[in-house]
A and B are shown apart, each in its own frame.
Chain A
């Protein structure tokens, strides 16, 4: 028998409501923490579970009405565990047959509860390794080498908590947390893992120019390396704003320019809220498209008052609506990265890079407000969407492994702007979140306001990595589509604001709280990064090994 610390005994509960365990007198209620990982040894099965609530109980009302005098340690020690006791609520997550048998199915989601008075133990390192590294969940068989990535460590132990990256990229994922809780660090961590393991190709719409190159950590004030620096030419960095890149002394791999001819009504419709457009105005733009095709926006912006009136009269559009549309879209024409006419060369280049398995980070520089971000992200993603649809159809036709499109993950920030209930029905991102899994494209949405995201999209999100959230609605939103999620709510609100996250969903066997991995020198090294002089030393060493001194 292993010397795990016994903390309590199951006294009641149900599969739906969770279990209640009475704490041992020796187990201090103060060391029980919501989110702790515990193991219940049932008669035939082990249950891997989470503590979801901690409570105080008393056998007798009178004890509570007449508590022992303040300094009476003895009375407190006697009463603890007898007349007064602690209880914990436990949510069982996974179960495992205690006796390995022929029809052993490994770890499975719970379908029953342990019997009365089953002992509850604090999980030890072996339990963590068993759950977070073994690939036996729900009997899914997978071929090939599994790609596990350490995302952090449990709160009270020094063992890695690993995530299955191949499962991770198979579905859309979310990184949530209120501002200042380290969302972009989490994102950088996950992106690094995916790049390193080659689980998928990444396209990152980097609103605040923080993923490609060095940025200052909000927490320590130190500068941390960007992905372009860590992974070298595997990662390409594009920018919309070459001036900002110059000012930060970074050398982008390309500059993205958008032509008015590349902007479609759909892109404008997406900006409806940002630009305060009426739906009539959006509908009128289709009249322009009917006449001018892809030059509709260019034509509109060039119209003077008179031509506009003429057009309205001829096409039957509402003149005031047309005028308003022009007024509001003038802003697009003034953007630094927008030209009258651009053939698709840069966007093509990006698409080709992605096809060849290189990761692309698009920095927005000064254009870091939602309007420009949404516009550009949508235009580029639409192209990729079309490409992947074709590629997938070809693959379905030929069924050749070499035709299988590379898994692609698109990272978007401020996701509620793209995926709010209105936009999610219109934008390409809504489509991707809902159905593009089948076409090998998934999203990594980073947001501080998950409640702003359409519930249909939320329920499709596979893995959620959530830092602290306080707002009741946001917490509710995170647990959309998670069975028994209500019980885990307390966990989320109890996270520390720094370096702690709750990971739940498709890529982990059960929800777990982690101290996230630090993004530091050790991490850079683990990702294979070497400083230049170190590279030289290693090369030197290799040379002497080969050729002698």
Chain B
């Protein structure tokens, strides 16, 4: 697989089910629910969705937080050139090897300091050709699963070029998974329905000019 975008950051910590990306630049932090990938070992690209961003303080911030007049350069520095990394928690959804997508956990987690890339539109389209990964999102404990699923599906929808059929299929997959939890299903459906995208508010992904 090619990665025509520069890395977002590097792996800070990792496990089989999730990894944490350390980013320096807030502007390049992956948005909630978006797809990222990282090479684990030979030819295995681990795919995941960003589900939490943690912007930690550093001793310097603690010292000046009470200052009524913080210089603009200092505030900007906190965004673009931080001393402590922004931590992005990523849920592992599957992996690709030799162009084949597998929607289950990879054999090995990525090593620390591996480069983490955003996924291209064609990678997202290929990965979301199957939807069994939605199950991983829905049934992972202690994450905002429903919100993550909705954000991820919205993201995939836009990067697939506004494919309504995809939304319906994703909704159906959710309906199958949540057959006993109609209330949850309803909440998810209300967060991914096509009418959301007709509003004038641009979605983050669209702002980035990705189709």
Residues of A within 8 A of B (CB): 25, 59-60, 62-63, 66, 68, 72, 74-75, 77-79, 81-83
Residues of chain A within 8 A of B182, CB atoms compared = 60, 62-63, 66, 83
Complex: A87 Cα to B143 Cα, angstroms: 37
Complex: A75 Cα to B180 Cα, angstroms: 16
A74: nearest residue on chain B (CB-CB)? B193
Name A74's contact: one of B174, B176, B180, B194 (CB within 8 Å): B194
Residues of chain B within 8 A of A79, CB atoms compared = 175
List 7 A-B pairs, minimum CB-CB distance, nearest first.
A78-B171, A82-B175, A62-B182, A74-B193, A59-B179, A82-B172, A77-B168
**Shortest Cβ gap from B172 to chain A (Å):** 5
Residues of chain A within 8 A of B171, CB atoms compared = 74-75, 77-78
15 contacts between A and B (CB under 8 A): A60-B179, A62-B182, A68-B186, A72-B193, A74-B168, A74-B171, A74-B189, A74-B193, A74-B194, A74-B195, A75-B189, A75-B193, A78-B174, A78-B175, A82-B179
Residue pair A78, B179 in contact (C-beta under 8 Å):
no
B185 CB-CB contact with A under 8 Å:
yes
Residues of chain B within 8 A of A66, CB atoms compared = 182, 186
Beyond A74-B193, A82-B176, 11 extra complex contacts between A and B, CB < 8 Å: A59-B179, A60-B182, A66-B182, A68-B186, A75-B171, A75-B189, A78-B168, A79-B175, A83-B175, A83-B179, A83-B185
B142-186 contacts to A, CB under 8 A, are: 167-168, 171-172, 174-176, 179-180, 182-183, 185-186
In the complex where A60-B180, A60-B182 touch, is A25 in contact with B193 (Cβ < 8 A)? Answer: no
Residues of chain A within 8 A of B167, CB atoms compared = 74
Residues of chain A within 8 A of B180, CB atoms compared = 60
**Prevailing SS type, chain A contact patch:** loop
B177: nearest residue on chain A (CB-CB)? A82
A81: nearest residue on chain B (CB-CB)? B172
Complex: A59 Cα to B180 Cα, angstroms: 8
**Shortest Cβ gap from B149 to chain A (Å):** 13
Give the most central of B179, B183, B194: most A CB within 10 Å.
Answer: B179
**Shortest Cβ gap from A261 to chain B (Å):** 82
**Shortest Cβ gap from A70 to chain B (Å):** 14
Residues of chain B within 8 A of A77, CB atoms compared = 168, 171
Residues of chain A within 8 A of B172, CB atoms compared = 25, 78, 81-82
Residues of chain B within 8 A of A25, CB atoms compared = 172
Residues of chain B within 8 A of A63, CB atoms compared = 182
**Shortest Cβ gap from A328 to chain B (Å):** 74
Residues of chain A within 8 A of B195, CB atoms compared = 74
**Shortest Cβ gap from B181 to chain A (Å):** 9
**Shortest Cβ gap from A499 to chain B (Å):** 40
**Shortest Cβ gap from B185 to chain A (Å):** 7
B176: nearest residue on chain A (CB-CB)? A82
Complex: A78 Cα to B168 Cα, angstroms: 5
Complex: A82 Cα to B182 Cα, angstroms: 12
Complex: A74 Cα to B171 Cα, angstroms: 9
A84: nearest residue on chain B (CB-CB)? B175
Residue pair B168, A62 in contact (C-beta under 8 Å):
no
Complex: A59 Cα to B176 Cα, angstroms: 9
B180: nearest residue on chain A (CB-CB)? A60
Complex: A75 Cα to B167 Cα, angstroms: 10
Complex: A79 Cα to B182 Cα, angstroms: 10
Residues of chain B within 8 A of A83, CB atoms compared = 175, 179, 182, 185
**Shortest Cβ gap from B192 to chain A (Å):** 8
Residues of chain A within 8 A of B179, CB atoms compared = 59-60, 82-83
In the complex where A74-B167, A75-B189 touch, is A62 in contact with B183 (Cβ < 8 A)? Answer: yes
**Shortest Cβ gap from B52 to chain A (Å):** 28
Give the most central of A63, A68, A75, A78: most B CB within 10 Å.
Answer: A78
Complex: A68 Cα to B175 Cα, angstroms: 13
Complex: A228 Cα to B55 Cα, angstroms: 99
B185: nearest residue on chain A (CB-CB)? A83
Complex: A75 Cα to B168 Cα, angstroms: 8
In the complex where A25-B172, A83-B175 touch, is A78 in contact with B189 (Cβ < 8 A)? Answer: yes
**Shortest Cβ gap from A483 to chain B (Å):** 38
Complex: A63 Cα to B174 Cα, angstroms: 14
Residues of chain A within 8 A of B189, CB atoms compared = 68, 74-75, 78
**Shortest Cβ gap from A78 to chain B (Å):** 3
B190: nearest residue on chain A (CB-CB)? A75
Give the most central of B167, B179, B182, B193: most A CB within 10 Å.
Answer: B182
Residues of chain A within 8 A of B194, CB atoms compared = 74
Residues of chain B within 8 A of A78, CB atoms compared = 168, 171-172, 174-175, 189
B173: nearest residue on chain A (CB-CB)? A82
A77: nearest residue on chain B (CB-CB)? B168
Complex: A62 Cα to B195 Cα, angstroms: 24
Complex: A74 Cα to B194 Cα, angstroms: 7
Complex: A78 Cα to B171 Cα, angstroms: 5
Residues of chain B within 8 A of A59, CB atoms compared = 179
Complex: A525 Cα to B186 Cα, angstroms: 63
